[in-house]
Amino acid sequence: MKRIISYLIFLFVSSFTFAQTDGIRKGINKIIKGKHATIGVAIYDTQTGNTLNINGDKHFPMQSVFKFPIALNILTKVDKGKMSLNDSIFITAKDLLPGTWSPIRDRYPEGNIKMPLSEIIRYTISQSDNNGCDILIHLLGGTSTVNSYISSLGLTEMKIKKTEAEQHITPSAQFYNWTTPTCAIQLLRLFHEKKILLSDSRDFLFKTMTETSTGSVKTEIPQDVIVAHKTGSAFFPGSYVVNDIGVMQIPDNHTILYAIFIMKSKESKENNYKIIADIAKVVYQQATSEISK
């Protein structure tokens, strides 16, 4: 009898979960249908525990999304007292490579300056500074350290092997830094559930991610929705990569974690950004429709 009851409960919960996610899946499939691109999406509703995956186990190049685990690794060192956000880091002219996206270099073209670690993290996350990213990797001791950190979290479907400079020299190197949408959600859950950083570090990084100035994920949702996210993109002719992962907080404290990855896209740059914006809109609308029930 107990087995029958448990089975009936399982069927009820499964049916309820399917009903909740069916609308969002249909909405996303409508957006991506006919697009000349490989698109992966993973969603996790922190209130209901509902999940959704479309190509969730496929490998996607991370591009600048890899700056998120790098920042987590740095802040773990801060939490352990091995570094401080107030540490003054000397940045040489050689650290500021030309021909790559770098607001730090644009502001300090001659280099040879001291900058607090906190500011380097802000530049790296909020403005996706490539030189700032490689400075952080150097402080950690290289990509192997970051890879070891990721493995220590139990994440097997995320690898970081190349710096921004190495990817700039050899564009195909981007595929050495990869993850799956599902694994990206796992990392976001650890971050959101406060399992990998102390409160001060977690709050600092969350605020920094809300200040992200890149990407399109916020363009089709209301301004009072808080989005803490990290973007990543590369625009090689005929093969675009556009990514966005983050935490979406709806005003009633309903929180959705999302990971959207686009690769091998032959769509225009504008269309790729619109895909992400439209998916975010569907996620928001579905979340708010569940709240109102």
Residues taking part in catalysis: 64, 164
**Rg of the chain, C-alpha, whole Å:** 20
